A and B are shown apart, each in its own frame.
Chain A
């Protein structure tokens, strides 16, 4: 079945540094979504990418979808303590259900 791998598993950064998490799917995706989950919370939808090579920005967050629609990345510029949490990618393939990656847990040190 479809597998979605995400790296790194953990990332510690100093406040103000940049952060990137990468997502790779074993199969071509129709779209990919990104979620943020704060400690003790539930996943909160951030964005969806649909087109090959698509790039979307939300303030300090930049999301990319690969040309082959099998990989994606999330980049945060100048991290803040409010960015703390686990970031998940979730891909939708031919089975239509969302397959989540295992997440990248971001810690921002003040």
Chain B
């Protein structure tokens, strides 16, 4: 077990709705990264938060947004859901200076289905 938790485990939404996913990082970790993993694909980097600031972003539209809180837990928000947003959403926590640590520990993920 990595100590990284995510909620909810599963979620079903309809197109156009908004969703918030949550991640609690491993104790002592100051960085959280979010990934989207479509079925049969590798995880794709969405963005990363280091000490409550976004310090890296992948090729995702602005309707994907996030927050990191003082306790280093994090949220991923997705607005105006589309069918293609159906995927496993993974968060990964790590520790290090500058936010780009070598080792990331993944949580179990949230399975989002958009109908």
Write the residues of chain A forming the contact surface with B, with a CB cutoff of 8 angstroms. Answer: 1, 4, 6, 31, 33, 41-45, 48, 88, 90, 92, 95-103
A96 to B109, CA, bound (A): 23
A48 to B33, CA, bound (A): 18
Tell me which residues across on chain B come within 8 A of A95, comparing CB atoms: 56
| B102 and A31 form a contact (CB under 8 A) | yes
| Min CB–CB distance A60 → chain B (angstroms) | 22
Given A97-B48, A101-B42, are A43 and B103 neighbors across the interface (CB < 8 Å)? no
Tell me which residues across on chain B come within 8 A of A88, comparing CB atoms: 42-43
Closest to A96 in B: B100
Tell me which residues across on chain B come within 8 A of A33, comparing CB atoms: 102
| Min CB–CB distance A104 → chain B (angstroms) | 10
| A48 and B103 form a contact (CB under 8 A) | yes
Contact with A along B18-43 (1 / 0, CB 8 A): 00000000000000010100001111
- The interface size bin for chain B is 20 to 34
| B102 and A42 form a contact (CB under 8 A) | no
Closest to A42 in B: B106
B65 at the interface (CB under 8 A from A): no
- Number of A-B residue pairs, CB cutoff 8 Å, is 48
| Min CB–CB distance B46 → chain A (angstroms) | 10
Closest to B57 in A: A97
| A103 and B100 form a contact (CB under 8 A) | no
| Min CB–CB distance A65 → chain B (angstroms) | 14
Closest to A41 in B: B108
| B56 and A97 form a contact (CB under 8 A) | yes
| A45 and B42 form a contact (CB under 8 A) | no
A33 to B40, CA, bound (A): 19
| Min CB–CB distance A16 → chain B (angstroms) | 27
| A48 and B42 form a contact (CB under 8 A) | no
